[in-house]
């Protein structure tokens, strides 16, 4: 006999008989939801990355000490990447007798590789442009216009060349990341660079080599660069260059992963229940086949073969459906959000097939594998079931498969641990609590009416399988609650951190005598100004008495940080959106001590550790501070945050400038222009672009979550149906016997309803407890969002779970009440 062929033939026969369909349906729903959700999150994540790339004008920027050589360029081109070089340096611009230190940027024809530059020709409004200014022309920013008091059409000299100002840059995608760029911008064409005579041996120049292309090409290039002498710190992508966007991106993808994991888990439980049901129904078949001479290996091959065929069929059907479904949903997307959603990669299809196989193996194999243990004696003594010594090992293997799968899908260790730990904990909690409650119910039911007594009696009598049912249903309720109530709470908490009037402008370099004037100006123009924070600009000269030389640092962030003056602010209390990761905050008696609190990533980049002594110089004075603690900053809160904070009284008599942030509607750009005209030394940093991108990301995440929820709901309903189905055969017999003994339809209906209502209430209660605990853990430890316990969770869990399960259970069993007792008894023979 060829058991695989047998498996296939038996499967075809089973298909006609109909029992296998619920397993296949569970598989298809699981795969469809998984593939569509993964495909969609894949597209969203690609879109997010693209959105993010627009913030640095490229997918990857390499900071080089000199222009890229032939080999580098060939490496990029071999990987199909677009590339361009931006040369940045500081130089003095001259107009007549007036001079101004500027940040010059010379760019090539491909600049910017991602996003667009916005340039205004002098009047109102601006144009999105690609490419550099024409030869002999320069674009400058509003700051330069204000400080030099010039206009479009005037000329300006840089080195040996005189440029005509052809436009004013109103938005430069890759400007204004970490740290503050203080000098005004002059942008010129790269072909004019040599003529200026400003760049030569020994001049301090940043070569920013920009790359863009498909993600695999970018990743390969990145790996190659790291293998060939480029340091991590010299590579810049949206993740390290835009911490505000990065935090939002991480949180957004965590939300998507959470939703995906929960729907997979639900579908997995549905598959597990369905295969258990299927396997149980086949104990007799296995026994008959054993009796007719099938070996244990034959039985294993036949049923595992069936599972493999099923998983392939379900996986394929689900993958196709999932692809169609997510595409359909993308078409339904509001136009604003569907633009530039890239096509999904091949990964979701792979995930779909792998998931289908793993779901079946992980969730279904334990039950099916027991079939080989069914003794042939069962044909004579029906009460004999399989004795399972090796099955425990199998469950262990299944648990390992599922755990690995969750980790692979989640791509986020904390999240995966919470989901796995939460589920395992929930399983134990549910099993224990369900067993205890059922025992209690058994004691109480004496005082109830006949129908209730019958309903609850059924639950108590089927103790083991009732516990299994409550566990499956409880997990189902937990999953649904996680995706509705908990998810909404978490998302709202995140959303609330970015209200409509989140500051989108930062003003820096406000002098002490300008504070009142700037405040008054902004208030007159309707901008809501937060408090002005003082800071001292100081240069880091030594670390632990070792002089600091920028050349000791790699190109990139750390080097930029030591090249420029640092901004030291002072605060009495730890800001609300900061979290200490090492050391203590200072007490009032330390307010004049030489201490500093350092942002963690900053400390890491500069190689600082706790207790290090930093020497700063302001004009001709120096002071020392010791690293007293390390902080983690929630950058996506968009309030002013500082890499370096000192105690409030330390720098009181140093020359100070002030910083503030405020919200200004995008169309009120004129306010900024007038402000800079009046206070030319003040610098405006416009974070509206990042803020807009973060909001867009949140909108997309929110919308996708609603979509994913539909699938989770389907998977959840399937769990309920599968759980009800597993005890259906037994229930049918009972109903038939009761009918034969003269029970009224009404009594039976009440009995069933009471059974399922109790089951639903138990599962709802336990599911709500579990969802609340997991939600709390996720909020605190994964999403970093304050968690509020909601009454809604309990109400929805208890009432929704109770009513939903009662209804589904009742509907699924109704045909058995309607059929005549004789029909049921004959069918259940």
* Residues engaged in binding other proteins (CB under 8 A): 1-2, 6, 9-10, 13-14, 16-17, 19, 284-285, 288-298, 375-377, 379-380, 826-827, 829
String of DSSP letters for 190-206: GGGHHHHT---TT---E
CA distance 263 to 746: 37
Q: Which two tokens stand for residue 6?
A: 């047998």
Nearer to other proteins (CB atom), residue 286 or residue 782: 286
- CA 648 to mean position of chain CA atoms: 37
Indicate if the alpha-carbon torsion angle 510, 516, 521, 524 is positive or negative: positive
CB 618 within 8 A of CB 654: yes
Query: In the complex, what is the shortest distance from the CB of residue 724 to other proteins, in angstroms, rounded to a whole number?
Result: 21
Query: In the complex, what is the shortest distance from the CB of residue 433 to other proteins, in angstroms, rounded to a whole number?
Result: 31
Query: In the complex, what is the shortest distance from the CB of residue 341 to other proteins, in angstroms, rounded to a whole number?
Result: 46
Whole-Å CA distances, 136 to 99, 130, 156, 165, 195: 19, 17, 10, 9, 10
Query: In the complex, what is the shortest distance from the CB of residue 712 to other proteins, in angstroms, rounded to a whole number?
Result: 32
Query: In the complex, what is the shortest distance from the CB of residue 3 to other proteins, in angstroms, rounded to a whole number?
Result: 9
Nearer to other proteins (CB atom), residue 13 or residue 390: 13
Nearer to other proteins (CB atom), residue 301 or residue 445: 301
CA distance 139 to 150: 12
215-222 long-range contacts, Cβ below 8 Å, gap at least 24?
Answer: 215/46, 215/49, 215/59, 215/345, 217/79, 217/80, 217/81, 218/59, 218/60, 218/79, 218/81, 220/79, 221/60, 221/75, 221/76, 221/79, 221/81, 222/60
Nearer to other proteins (CB atom), residue 444 or residue 822: 822
Nearer to other proteins (CB atom), residue 430 or residue 736: 736
Query: In the complex, what is the shortest distance from the CB of residue 285 to other proteins, in angstroms, rounded to a whole number?
Result: 5
Nearer to other proteins (CB atom), residue 21 or residue 531: 21
Query: In the complex, what is the shortest distance from the CB of residue 273 to other proteins, in angstroms, rounded to a whole number?
Result: 20
Nearer to other proteins (CB atom), residue 25 or residue 593: 25
Query: In the complex, what is the shortest distance from the CB of residue 60 to other proteins, in angstroms, rounded to a whole number?
Result: 59
Whole-Å CA distances, 728 to 275, 281, 659, 821: 14, 11, 70, 15
**Distant-in-sequence, close-in-space partners of 622: CB < 8 Å, separation ≥ 6:** 541, 615, 616
546-551 long-range contacts, Cβ below 8 Å, gap at least 24?
Answer: none
CB 206 within 8 A of CB 87: yes
Nearer to other proteins (CB atom), residue 429 or residue 729: 729
Nearer to other proteins (CB atom), residue 381 or residue 443: 381
Query: In the complex, what is the shortest distance from the CB of residue 15 to other proteins, in angstroms, rounded to a whole number?
Result: 9
Question: What does residue 788 show for φ and ψ, rounded to 5 degrees?
Answer: -115, 130
Nearer to other proteins (CB atom), residue 11 or residue 472: 11
Query: In the complex, what is the shortest distance from the CB of residue 23 to other proteins, in angstroms, rounded to a whole number?
Result: 14
Nearer to other proteins (CB atom), residue 369 or residue 419: 369
Nearer to other proteins (CB atom), residue 376 or residue 548: 376
Query: In the complex, what is the shortest distance from the CB of residue 29 to other proteins, in angstroms, rounded to a whole number?
Result: 23
Query: In the complex, what is the shortest distance from the CB of residue 731 to other proteins, in angstroms, rounded to a whole number?
Result: 18
String of DSSP letters for 167-226: EEEEE-TT---SS---SPEEEEEGGGHHHHT---TT---EEEEEEE--HHHHHHHHHHHH
Query: In the complex, what is the shortest distance from the CB of residue 815 to other proteins, in angstroms, rounded to a whole number?
Result: 16
CA distance 255 to 259: 6
CB 96 within 8 A of CB 214: no
Whole-Å CA distances, 751 to 469, 744, 807, 817, 826: 18, 11, 13, 11, 23
CA distance 210 to 235: 10
Nearer to other proteins (CB atom), residue 24 or residue 60: 24
Nearer to other proteins (CB atom), residue 16 or residue 160: 16
Q: Which of 573, 708, 593, 687 is nearest to 635 (CA)?
A: 687
CA distance 204 to 200: 9
Q: Which two tokens stand for residue 475?
A: 């997990």
CB 537 within 8 A of CB 659: no
CB 105 within 8 A of CB 88: yes
Q: Which of 681, 635, 643, 683 is nearest to 505 (CA)?
A: 683
Query: In the complex, what is the shortest distance from the CB of residue 370 to other proteins, in angstroms, rounded to a whole number?
Result: 15
Question: What does residue 163 show for φ and ψ, rounded to 5 degrees?
Answer: -115, 150
């Amino acid at each position: 006999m060829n058991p695989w062929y047998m498996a296939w033939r038996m499967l075809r026969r089973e298909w006609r008989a109909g029992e296998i369909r619920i397993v296949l349906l569970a598989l298809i729903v699981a795969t469809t939801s998984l593939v569509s959700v993964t495909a969609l999150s894949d597209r969203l994540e690609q879109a997010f990355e693209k959105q993010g790339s627009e913030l640095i004008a490229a997918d990857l920027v390499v900071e080089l000490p000199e222009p890229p050589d032939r080999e580098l360029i060939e490496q990029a081109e071999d990987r199909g990447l677009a590339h361009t070089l931006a040369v940045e340096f500081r130089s003095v611009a001259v107009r007549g007798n007036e001079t101004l230190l500027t940040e010059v940027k010379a760019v090539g024809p491909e600049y910017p590789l991602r996003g667009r530059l916005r340039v205004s020709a002098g009047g109102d409004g601006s144009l999105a442009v690609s490419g550099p200014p024409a030869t002999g022309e320069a674009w400058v920013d509003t700051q330069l216009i204000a400080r030099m008091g010039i206009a479009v059409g005037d000329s300006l000299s840089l080195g040996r060349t005189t440029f005509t100002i052809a436009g004013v840059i109103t938005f430069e995608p890759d400007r204004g990341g970490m740290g503050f760029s203080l000098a005004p911008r002059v942008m010129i064409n790269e072909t004019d660079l040599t003529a200026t005579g400003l760049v030569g041996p020994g001049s301090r120049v940043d070569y920013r080599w920009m790359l863009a292309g498909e993600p695999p090409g970018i990743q390969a290039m990145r790996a190659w660069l790291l293998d060939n002498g480029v340091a991590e710190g010299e590579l810049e992508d949206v993740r390290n260059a835009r911490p505000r966007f990065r935090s939002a991106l991480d949180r957004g993808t965590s939300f998507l992963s959470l939703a995906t994991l929960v729907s997979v888990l639900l579908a997995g439980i549905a598959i597990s229940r369905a295969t258990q049901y299927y396997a149980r129904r086949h104990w007799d078949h296995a026994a008959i086949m054993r009796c007719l001479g099938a070996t244990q290996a034959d039985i294993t091959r036949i049923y595992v073969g069936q599972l493999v065929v099923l998983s392939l069929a379900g996986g394929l059907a689900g993958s196709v459906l999932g692809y169609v479904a997510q595409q359909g949903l993308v078409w339904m997307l509001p136009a604003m959000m569907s633009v530039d959603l890239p096509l999904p990669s091949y990964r979701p299809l792979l995930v779909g097939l792998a998931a289908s196989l793993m779901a079946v193996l992980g969730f279904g194999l334990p039950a099916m594998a027991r079939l080989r243990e069914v003794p042939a004696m069962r044909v004579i003594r029906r009460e004999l079931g399989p004795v399972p010594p090796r099955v425990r090992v199998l469950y262990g293997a299944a648990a390992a498969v599922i755990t690995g799968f969750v980790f692979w899908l989640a791509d986020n260790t904390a999240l995966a641990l919470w989901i796995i730990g939460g589920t395992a904990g929930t399983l134990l909690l549910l099993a224990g609590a369900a067993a205890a409650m059922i025992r209690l119910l058994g004691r109480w039911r004496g005082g109830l009416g006949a129908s209730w007594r019958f309903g609850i009696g059924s639950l108590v009598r089927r103790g083991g399988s009732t516990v299994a049912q409550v566990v499956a249903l409880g997990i189902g309720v937990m999953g649904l609650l996680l995706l509705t109530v908990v998810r909404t709470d978490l998302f709202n908490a995140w959303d609330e951190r970015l209200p409509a009037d989140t500051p989108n402008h930062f003003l820096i370099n406000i002098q002490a005598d300008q504070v009142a004037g700037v405040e008054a100006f902004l208030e007159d123009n309707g901008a809501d100004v937060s408090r002005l924070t003082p800071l001292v600009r100081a240069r880091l000269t030594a670390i632990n008495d070792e002089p600091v030389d920028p050349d000791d640092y790699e190109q990139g962030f750390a080097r930029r940080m030591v090249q420029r003056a640092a901004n030291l602010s002072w605060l009495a209390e730890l800001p609300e959106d900061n979290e200490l990761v090492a050391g203590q905050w200072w007490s009032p008696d330390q307010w004049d001590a030489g201490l500093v609190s350092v942002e963690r990533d900053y400390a890491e980049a500069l190689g600082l550790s706790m207790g290090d002594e930093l020497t700063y110089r302001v004009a001709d004075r120096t002071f020392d501070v010791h690293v007293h603690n390390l902080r983690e900053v929630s950058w996506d809160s968009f309030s002013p945050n500082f890499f370096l904070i000192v105690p409030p009284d330390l720098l009181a008599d140093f020359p100070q400038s002030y910083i503030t942030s405020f919200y200004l509607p995008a169309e009120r750009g004129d306010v900024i222009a007038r402000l800079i005209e009046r206070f030319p030394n003040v610098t405006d940093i416009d974070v509206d672009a990042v803020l807009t991108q973060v909001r867009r990301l949140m909108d997309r995440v929110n919308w996708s979550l609603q979509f994913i929820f539909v699938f989770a709901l389907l998977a959840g309903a399937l769990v309920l149906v599968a759980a009800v189905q597993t005890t259906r055969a037994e229930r049918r017999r009972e109903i038939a016997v009761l009918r034969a003994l003269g029970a009224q339809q009404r009594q039976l209906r009440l009995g069933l309803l009471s059974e399922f209502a109790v089951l639903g209430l138990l599962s709802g209660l336990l599911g709500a407890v579990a969802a609340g605990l997991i939600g709390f853990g996720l909020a605190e430890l994964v999403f970093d969002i304050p968690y509020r316990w909601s009454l809604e969770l309990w109400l929805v869990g208890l009432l929704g779970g109770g009513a939903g399960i009662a209804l589904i259970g009742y509907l699924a069993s109704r045909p058995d009440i309607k059929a005549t007792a004789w029909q049921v008894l004959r069918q259940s023979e």
